[in-house]
Structure 1
Amino acid sequence: MAPKTGEMLHLRGNALNAGDPVALPLTQSSMYHLPGGTDGLPTYGRVDNPTWLHLEHVLAHLEEAPCLTFPSGMGAISAALFATLKTGSRLLIPSDGYYVTRVLADRFLSGLGMSVTERPTTTFTEGGFDGFDVVFVESPSNPGLDMLDLPAIAAAVRAAGGITIADNTTLTPLGQRPLELGIDVVVSSDTKAMAGHSDLLMGHVASRNAQIMERVEEWRRVSGAIPGPHEAWMLHRGLETLDVRFERMCSSAQVLAERLADHPAVKQIRYPGLTGDPSHALAAAQTARFGFLLSITLETEEKAETFINACPMLRPATSFGGVHSSAERRARWGDDVDPAFIRLSVGCEPVEELWQAIETSLNAL
């Protein structure tokens, strides 16, 4: 069931008193006035902040589950993993997902006595899930855009006694609802489409498991991995336009993918919205939209760089999900992809203007 984004816009407004500001106030304070008892009151800036509280109320509305915010997507991923793992735990992660998750597991979790296993997304279920305490999934994978059967994996992991965590950054709660598909915990980098303007770092964790969320909250409180109030305020403002931005971005991505598939300079294209894409059937079954990310592979690394840098409507930058379309060769970050593989994040530009710029740059190669 899709979240009611119109209702989301009025969550604060319908609780206002006469004379209250309609826009969310920014509370920038580390201390609170605490004469006498402190029960039920904000106590300290590392523990409580009214701006976070309302942001998390909005995110909980989108996820239809309790949410906690963090200063980055990796902050959210770290919190979810440290809340569910301990020495001796076994963790399964995708070998072709976001590379920093793998770095965290390899360089830090392994050193704390946790066993880490990696599997490619396309063969993720091979070998089963017996013995794994936590199974971390990413669907679609970043940057390959391969999909997983989330309901089947969630059921199998639960039957084996494990917990599932899904990174839903690429599709947001408007495009895919992992908790409704049986996943235990969702993490997201809200730096990307959720905030949408490439001007802040934030992330969140959502779960309907109260025990897990208690651990996540404790991790945030004692580790100090807290969001800044100003960033929380900015993310809240970004969420108010998520619905219209996401609709534009996904619709444009579909148009561009269909045209790019026919361009002679494009050796390969991946977009779940294309009927011939390996991910199409799963995406059609378990997502509301096919997303705003696509990938193309050109003939050579040199041509890929020339295409990106020459196109006036593509920002050559890492990350994705902003109002400005952007592109990059993922091989430069160590992803196991063709050197001419380009991840393209479709923004909010008028689609015909964007296509004209992309086509002109491709035709000039």
Structure 2
Amino acid sequence: MLGDGTRCVHGGESEPAVAEPLMPGPVFAAPYHLGGADRVGDADFYGRAGNPGWRALERALGELDGGHCVLLPSGMAAIGTLLRTVLHAGDALVLPSDGYYATRDLVRTELSELNLDVREVPTSGPFPPEVFDDARLVLLETPSNPGLDVCDIAELAERAHAAGALVAVDNTTATPLGQRPLELGADAVVASDTKAVCGHSDLLLGHVSTADEELARRLTGTRTLSGAIPAPFETWLAHRSLATLDLRLERQAANAAALAEALAEHTAVSGLRWPGASSDPAHGPASRQMRRWGGVLRFELRDAEAVRRLLERSRLVSGTTSFGGVHSTADRRAQWGDPVPEGFVRFSAGCEDTADLVADVLGALD
């Protein structure tokens, strides 16, 4: 298999042609010529059903994930499309109680008419045997957002499958280069590509990948009929951004490692977590299933005012409710309703010079 960097640069590309660009531009067509009175074969006929731009990025992401990719306009569109495709009225759904809060909100509000049997379990467990009984879908998120706890995908997939359940993994924090849940037994992987995959804090995009061709076909059908489709220019920009994913992740992880080391003994900081640190409670299971570490860490300051002062005094860190971009950002998660302390910070290390970033954060804290 080619290396991560090579697959990021060349994934989904078309055959080279003389006097043509290395990467074709975005496809803005809505209808296409049918070639006559009726559609010919599998040729494109209407933009909502498919186009070359989507297929190119889907090939690239699908190769990174190890399955068939279905592109969606946001991470929540990806989660929603997966849940609406798989679940039926009265089904049992296992959710992480400490995962992304909007997923739980979606289930409690927009999907409430399905009368689902929702079972919430912390990412770090324990997962009692009865939680899988008659479950239709087990949705995992590892490392979790924002707590960065980790669960054993292979073990839980085996247990869930034995009970007849499907397993999906929200892989947003890890990225397809950091973790390949489909190889660990998951039936589907879902991600908000808004974060590290696009990586420049200027796009909304998401996707679902699966090794099951029938499930991929159903997901595509749900996308087509619901109209939850990504725009052509955003798709093209995301594909262009994918080429530098390997390079960006390398710098972000190095910056996260340096920050974790620098903050470990700081008197103003508590609750520091980064799975890449050998002392982190999640390091053991993470090291068994993750291919590389990410750029997201978490820690706690005394209160909300302390977080405000950190951001006010920093020259390089912005207060932003996202992560995975080239700019370092920090988000006080309690403001969004996450059940965390008021001074809880999810920090996303960007691509700044490591020494500059560490000095800036320490200076702001001091």
Number of the residue aligned with 1:26? 26
Which ranges in structure 2 are unaligned for 5 or more consecutive residues?
A: none
Asked if structure 1 preserves the Cα contact closer than 8 Å seen for 2:8 and 2:244, the reply is: no
Number of the residue aligned with 1:120? 122
- The answer to whether residue 339 in structure 2 is matched with residue 336 in structure 1 is yes
Shift of 1:249: 0.4
Asked if structure 2 preserves the Cα contact closer than 8 Å seen for 1:163 and 1:184, the reply is: yes
Q: Normalising by the residue count of structure 2, what TM-score does the alignment of the two structures yield?
A: 0.96
Deviation readout 1:211-244 (Å, 9 max, x if unpaired): 2111101100100000000110010011010010
Number of the residue aligned with 2:70? 68
Q: Distance in 2 between matches of 1:13 and 1:218?
A: 25
Change (3 A) 1:42 1:339: same
Change (3 A) 1:11 1:329: closer
Number of the residue aligned with 1:10? 10
Deviation readout 1:71-92 (Å, 9 max, x if unpaired): 0000111111111111121111
Percentage of identical aligned residues: 43
Shift of 1:309: 2.6
Change (3 A) 1:328 1:4: closer
Q: Tell me the SS of whatever aligns to 2:132.
A: coil
Q: Aligned match of 1:132 in 135, 139, 142? A: 135
Asked if structure 2 preserves the Cα contact closer than 8 Å seen for 1:74 and 1:189, the reply is: yes
Q: Normalising by the residue count of structure 1, what TM-score does the alignment of the two structures yield?
A: 0.96
Asked if structure 2 preserves the Cα contact closer than 8 Å seen for 1:26 and 1:51, the reply is: yes
Number of the residue aligned with 1:265? 268
Q: Tell me the SS of whatever aligns to 1:179.
A: helix
Which ranges in structure 1 are unaligned for 5 or more consecutive residues?
A: none
Q: Distance in 2 between matches of 1:13 and 1:188?
A: 22
Root-mean-square deviation (CA, aligned residues, Å) is: 1.5
Q: Distance in 1 between matches of 2:238 and 2:327?
A: 17
Change (3 A) 1:110 1:345: same
Asked if structure 1 preserves the Cα contact closer than 8 Å seen for 2:9 and 2:244, the reply is: no
Number of the residue aligned with 1:312? 315
Asked if structure 2 preserves the Cα contact closer than 8 Å seen for 1:94 and 1:124, the reply is: no
The number of aligned residues is 363
Pairs within 5 Å for 1:230-309:
230-309=233-312
User: In the alignment, residue 21 of structure 1 is paired with which amino acid?
Assistant: P
Q: Distance in 1 between matches of 2:307 and 2:117?
A: 38
Deviation readout 1:265-284 (Å, 9 max, x if unpaired): 11220111122211111111
- The answer to whether residue 349 in structure 2 is matched with residue 350 in structure 1 is no
Q: Distance in 2 between matches of 1:139 and 1:3?
A: 24
Q: Tell me the SS of whatever aligns to 1:327.
A: strand
- The answer to whether residue 212 in structure 2 is matched with residue 209 in structure 1 is yes
Deviates more, 1:124-133 or 1:101-110: 124-133
Q: Tell me the SS of whatever aligns to 1:354.
A: helix
